[in-house]
Amino acid sequence: MSLLARLRPGLLLLVLLGCRAESVTPVVVKFWAMGREGEVVQQLVPEFERLTPGLRVRVQQIPWSAAHEKLLTAYVGNAMPDLFQVGNTWIPEFVALGAIEPLDERMAHSSIVRSDDYFPGILDTNVIDGVTYGVPWYVDTRLLFYRTDILAQAGYPQPPTTWAAWLDAMTRIKQQVGPANYAILLPFTEWQVPVILALQRGATLLRDNDQYGDFRSPEFRSSFEFYLDLLRRDLAPRGGQAQIANLYQDFTSGYFSMYISGPWNIGEFRARLPASLQDRWLTAPMPAPDGGYPGTSVAGGSSLAIFRGSQHKDLAWKMIEYLSEPPLQLQFYRLTGDLPARKSAWADGDLAHNRYAHAFWQQLQGVQSTPKIPEWERIADKISQYTEAAIRGDMDVDAALTALDSDVDGLLEKRRWMLRQAKNVGPAVPAAVRAEQSEGSAGTAGATH
Amino acid sequence: MKRVGPAVVLHLVLAVAAGVTLLPLLWMLSASLMPAGEATAFGHRLFPSTVTFEHYRALFTRLNLARDAANSALLAAAVTLISLVLNSMAGYAFAKFRFAGRDRIFRILLAALVIPGQVAMLPLFLMLRELGCINTYWGVIIPGMASIFGIFLIRQYALSIPDSLLDAARIDGAGEFRIYWSLVLPVCKPILVTLAIFTFMGTWNDFLWPLIVLTDSDMYTLPVALANLVGEHVQDTELMMAGSVLTVLPVVIVFMALQRYYIEGIMSGGVKE
Amino acid sequence: MTRPRINPAYGFLAPALAVIAVFFFVPVVASVLLSITDFDIYAVASLANLRFVGYGNYAHLLRDPLFWVALKNTAYFVFVAGPLSIAVSLTAAVLLSAKLVRFKAAFRTIFFLPVITTLVAVAVVWRYLYHLRFGLLNYGLSLVGIGPIDWLGDPAWAMPAIILLTVWKNFGFNMVIFIAGLQSIPDRLYEAASLDGASTLRQFWHVTLPMLAPTFAFVAIITLIGYFQLFAEPYVMTQGGPGQSTLSVALLMYQEGFRWWNMGYAAAVAFVLFAIILALTLVSLRLRAGAPVGTAEPQRGLAR
């Protein structure tokens, strides 16, 4: 009896913490951000809260490695945030789920978010079937980070502009640094580099309206062979990322002299490399297969998106506008090293004179998006899986590409079925919203909650 | 003289084995106290050059691990308390009551122990979503409220309660729940303590289900938060080690304090099958 | 007139059985149903996108090279780590049960400690211990002249690395069960054997092992069931890599289900896993039922 009485307050507490939480005032907007950006954006929030009284923004930081999973889990579990950062290659997926709010109208009426001030290649990744779903927050593309001193010693005072020159430079570097070191680090568990090389060669990756894999095309094959060649010639460590304890220590020691990476490493390199190395590294756009320097690269980056079922869409939009102002874009850049999505922000002194960012400016003029379909993440994962298999010698190139095509065809089977059924594969309108539109009444199960 | 030799060898072997067993945990502790960067520097340090608590400070301030520890503690306590009550009631019923299909149901439950938990996970997730329990404490508590293993342990123990004791109480006019609460539970205290330790530690260490169900970082338990940290801070060895120490410390303390019950529990379950 | 009495047992059973029925058995059954559909992320958006595929997922599973890789890896793990772990546990138990040993409780505690530690935490620690260039393990090996092994980066060594971690973490548990089994062997059997002139080794072979057979069988079965569900170690340490060499069936199920949201397919994988575990368990039970048990053996072996 007394035990039960003692337990009762505890049980009561548990019930109160229970499932359907009540809403509290002031209004809280939940914002999910990833990686370093997630850590930093928390510093920008107090000012925003000061400008918009009665509003609190709760930032949750999620590591990139788990972000995709977590967003999908949250969607399926009806626990989505109001505002979230989203990798722009994921946007088609969320559009297909009906999880993301179209933004064209808001953008049209906004004085702050102006579509002509964004890099076209980047903005394009946010547009599915003519509808814009995200506002670019910062841009990302991949290009060459390299050791100027080691490259100069190898006979290249200027970075290589063609694949042939690039290969030659790496071979010379390898000769210089010896068998225990390498010319370039290729993290082959990531899909970006093989895809970049393929896009440069003009490969389409998928064919027939993105219904089938096209990995046995001559364009993809030739870029794939080029990539594998780098490892065959021992220009890159076969252990890939696992062989690196500390990227920055190894770059400093000359374990590798080149690395294809993104803008976040500008800040990291400046912070983590020793002072003695700071004037011995630089960035350069990707070499092109033949002429036409720079070679194209992937249009990456993150956008800000609003959850379609959010109760605070207008407030979330205000946060987006706040973060999209050029001064804020610059401040964000200063804090993270992430490059602004707004072109006008680049004119500022800080960024305009940043010699590392200059290569990115060049590269961003020519970036391409990957196929804009929901299955892209899986396909990218398969690409890295078979790239790894080919590198390890588990499969030869033919077998790997055939298997890749076969797997990708399998992955796309549902898409083909849905297209055949003439269902709305693109911006899937949740049942609730459709019902609203047709009957003016609340719908059944759907994304809204 | 002849007898000393084997004894010495035996103890030596055991000591080496103990050392090897403890080495990873000791290194974990040692590295957590090293200044940043030292654990992976060349020279393979075993001991910190200077002892620093900066990583622990970082965990509690910047990374807010105290909240995750509180979540772990709350969930472990809740599941333990609730499941103790439910399991003991059912175990007592299987041991001391007669009802239709009693043995058959019990055998089915035992057989169900073979089913891997992952089979149930996906539909359970969808089910809890409909109940609105995703990203809530209840999402973690509900599946743990009763366990077949717990019922089994209690039933085995309760079998040894003399029927005469219970009958005497009934003749005196005591209600069934009263008998359970005031008579059976106190007698079962040893197995209850064992089960409580099992459940507490099991819930504390549980990783996969909280990882899936808890989407808000405010709700993370320590293992989930730690896995999250690995995603972001794999470069920061010493910080990760400090996180590991913090995660492991509570269960180690509970274990050291109550190990007698815990180990007896395993032994009784194992030998009697 | 007496009111028919409801068996009070039902009141005691109801809460626990209700929880188990609703939150375990129902999902298991639902899992079977899920496995005959192609429930995926499109279906989450709208149930109209759901199709019934009958045995389609199972057929796809049998054709999927990734499933066979996962099965092979899991079998490799179970049939290497299993016996290894049991052998280590038994050895430790025997050593600790020797009459000559002092500080038994201390040793037992130390050997048991890895069992209760949080798996995620120790997996993180071992990740660093296994590092190619900075890990303590390679450092130790270098002291005896063995070259650095890329534990987590080399497909040939990644699963052994996980096996080593698992054995270290779990041997204490089975050790305790073996200790209990050893303690239950009556001393007079050993006395009789030594009177007959049997050496320690022969005593072990003819007294200890046969008497331990039931315990052995129990340990083998629970180890089998547990090891087939290998998930957390590869999830934290290798994510199934390198080159899919540590992809286990349970990890594959997790990836398909919770990363890609192919829930129909994942349910099929989970169900196949269950079927395999069930089959092996039944086989083990049958084997054990057929094995000779009891006191007949030792006397037969030692009678002169």
Q: Which one-letter DSSP state was computed for residue A371?
A: P
Query: A250, A256 in Cβ contact below 8 A?
Result: yes
Write out pLDDT tens, residues C229-239: 998 889 888 88
Question: Is residue B11 within 8 angstroms of chain C, CB to CB?
Answer: yes
What is residue B2's predicted lDDT score, i.e. its pLDDT? Answer: 55
Of C20, C136, C180, which has the smallest distance from its Cβ to B27's Cβ? C136
Cα separation of the two ends of chain C: 74
Share of chain C above pLDDT 90, in %: 37
CB contact under 8 A, B25 and C125: yes
Interface of B with A in 222-251 (CB under 8 A): 228, 231-232, 235
pLDDT for residue A432 is more than 50: no
Arithmetic mean of pLDDT over chain C: 85
Write out pLDDT tens, residues B57-116: 888 887 788 899 999 999 999 999 999 999 999 999 999 888 888 999 999 998 888 888
HSE-up (13 A, CA, CB side) for residue A384: 17
pLDDT for residue C292 is more than 80: no
Q: Can you give the C-alpha Rg of chain B in angstroms?
A: 23
What is residue C298's predicted lDDT score, i.e. its pLDDT? Answer: 37
What is residue A11's predicted lDDT score, i.e. its pLDDT? Answer: 53
Å between C101 CA and nearest CA of chain B: 7
B95: nearest CA in chain C? C9
Query: A32, A316 in Cβ contact below 8 A?
Result: no
CB contact under 8 A, A374 and C41: yes
- Cβ-in-10-Å burial (0-12, 13-18, 19+) of C226 comes to middle
Domain CATH number, residue B66:
1.10.3720.10
Model pTM score: 0.82
Could you tell me which residue, C223 or C296, shows the higher pLDDT? C223
Question: Is residue B43 within 8 angstroms of chain A, CB to CB?
Answer: no
Pick from A78, A376, A385 the residue to mutate for testing the C interface (most C CBs within 10 Å). A385
Of C60, C244, C261, which has the smallest distance from its Cβ to A76's Cβ? C261
Of A171-185, A242-256, A352-366, where does mean pLDDT reach its minimum? A242-256
C-alpha dihedral sign at A220, A223, A229, A231: negative
Query: C164, C157 in Cβ contact below 8 A?
Result: no
pLDDT for residue C82 is more than 70: yes
pLDDT for residue A417 is more than 60: yes
Q: Which one-letter DSSP state was computed for residue A80?
A: -
What is residue B31's predicted lDDT score, i.e. its pLDDT? Answer: 86
Residue ranges and CATH numbers for the domains of chain C are: 64-290 (1.10.3720.10)
Share of chain A above pLDDT 90, in %: 44
Could you tell me which residue, A53 or A171, shows the higher pLDDT? A171
Query: Which helix or strand (DSSP H or E) is residue A99 part of?
Result: none
Write out pLDDT tens, residues C132-187: 777 888 888 888 888 888 888 888 899 999 999 999 999 999 998 898 888 888 88
pLDDT for residue A416 is more than 60: yes
Of B13, B23, B207, which has the smallest distance from its Cβ to C120's Cβ? B207
Write out pLDDT tens, residues A297-353: 988 889 999 999 999 999 999 999 999 999 999 888 888 878 899 999 888 777 888
Instruction: Name the nearest CA neighbour of C251 among B123, B128, A399, B207.
Output: B207
Question: Is residue C260 within 8 angstroms of chain A, CB to CB?
Answer: yes
Of C45, C48, C153, which has the smallest distance from its Cβ to A243's Cβ? C153
For C56-81, what is the mean pLDDT? 94
C295-298 contacts: CB < 8 A, separation 24 or more? C295/C189, C295/C211, C297/C206, C297/C210, C298/C189, C298/C193, C298/C206, C298/C207, C298/C210, C298/C211
Range of the domain at B46: 4-269
CB contact under 8 A, A388 and C241: yes
Of C38, C134, C242, which has the smallest distance from its Cβ to A242's Cβ? C242
Could you tell me which residue, B48 or B95, shows the higher pLDDT? B95
Of A242-251, A336-345, B252-261, where does mean pLDDT reach its minimum? A242-251
Residue with tokens 């040692």: B30
Q: Which of A434-443, B27-36, B134-143 has the highest mean pLDDT?
A: B134-143
Query: B225, C120 in Cβ contact below 8 A?
Result: no
Taking each helix axis from N to C terminus, what angle separates A397-411 and A376-391, rounded to the nearest 10 degrees?
Answer: 160
For C217-241, what is the mean pLDDT? 88
- Cβ-in-10-Å burial (0-12, 13-18, 19+) of A154 comes to buried
CB contact under 8 A, C131 and A445: no
Measure the CA–CA gap between A91 and A101, rounded to whole angstroms.
11
What is residue A434's predicted lDDT score, i.e. its pLDDT? Answer: 43
Query: A372, A132 in Cβ contact below 8 A?
Result: no
Interface of B with C in 68-87 (CB under 8 A): 85-87
Question: Is residue B270 within 8 angstroms of chain C, CB to CB?
Answer: yes
Instruction: Name the nearest CA neighbour of B221 among B239, B203, B238.
Output: B203
Arithmetic mean of pLDDT over chain A: 84
Write out pLDDT tens, residues C2-46: 556 778 888 899 999 999 999 999 999 999 999 999 898 888 878
Question: Is residue B179 within 8 angstroms of chain A, CB to CB?
Answer: no
What is residue A77's predicted lDDT score, i.e. its pLDDT? Answer: 85
Confidence band of A7 (pLDDT split at 50, 70, 90): low
Of A17, A19, A65, which has the smallest distance from its Cβ to B132's Cβ? A19
pLDDT for residue B195 is more than 80: yes
What is residue A243's predicted lDDT score, i.e. its pLDDT? Answer: 63
Query: How many structural domains is chain B composed of?
Result: 1
Write out pLDDT tens, residues B112-163: 888 888 888 889 998 998 898 998 999 999 999 999 989 998 998 888 888 8
Share of chain C above pLDDT 70, in %: 93
B106: nearest CA in chain C? C17
Å between C243 CA and nearest CA of chain A: 6
Both structure tokens of A243: 């062989």
Print burial letters for A212-221: b (CB count within 10 Å at least 16), e (below 16).
ebbbebebbb
What is residue C222's predicted lDDT score, i.e. its pLDDT? Answer: 87
CB contact under 8 A, B252 and C116: yes
Write out pLDDT tens, residues C96-108: 888 778 888 889 8
What is residue A366's predicted lDDT score, i.e. its pLDDT? Answer: 85
pLDDT for residue A257 is more than 90: yes
Q: What are phi and psi of A29, to 5 degrees?
A: -100, 125
Please state, as a whole number, how many other Cβ atoms lie within 10 Å of the Cβ of residue C181. Answer: 24
pLDDT for residue A2 is more than 80: no
